[in-house]
Amino acid sequence: GHPQVCPFGGPVNSRIPASTLTFLFMLCAVPATSAETVDVTADSLHIDRDRRMATFKGHVTARFESLQFFCAVMTVTYSEAGAITSLQATGGVTVKQKDATAKAATAIYDATQGVLVLKGNPVLETGGHRLLGDAIEVNLHTGRIDVAKARGTFMLNPGGAP
């Protein structure tokens, strides 16, 4: 069987029905060893323990590391130890970090690599810069931004953002 670990590595705030919250608390009965937490609010939650996935649907807001997500659906995947490995957001996605805001049809955050990939008419706005492209990839560890078919308003500023 699978170890009894909280798939989120910590507390979950939610507007989920009480019966689902009770199940979530039973699932999280053994404390996770990871300091990672994702705080989520959603209309509903489905947990697939065999695939180590939790899917939140409806008016999803989530905070993970330095990122805030707003979307219709979010799927969180986690390791057997309970560490979050990725977050996939779909449906009118907005991602915020400090003074940067990104919008796209989908956003996938690889927590192990610290890389956020935006697809579906992605737009990244930060410090007066506005980047558009077919896909935008942001490495949160290095600050590197790669844009496929880049366009928009931006200045090449080696000392600042983007």
- If pLDDT is split at 50, 70 and 90, which confidence band does 45 have? very high
DSSP state of 32: P
- What average pLDDT score do residues 35-58 get? 87
In the structure, what pLDDT confidence band is assigned to residue 79 with cuts at 50, 70 and 90? confident
Mean pLDDT is lowest, of 4-18, 43-57, 85-99, 143-157, for 4-18
Of 33, 29, 43, 44, the closest CA to residue 9 belongs to: 33
The one-letter code for the residue type at 80 is: E
Is a pLDDT exceeding 60 seen at residue 5? no
Is residue 12 pLDDT above 60, yes or no? Answer: no
Report the candidate in 41, 42, 46, 38 with the shortest Cα–Cα distance to residue 20.
Answer: 46
Average pLDDT, the chain: 78
Model confidence band, residue 157 (pLDDT cutoffs 50, 70, 90) = low
Q: If 0-12 CB within 10 Å is exposed, 13-18 middle and 19+ buried, where does residue 136 land?
A: buried
Bridge partner residues of 106 (DSSP): 90, 119
Is the pLDDT confidence value at 122 over 90? Answer: yes
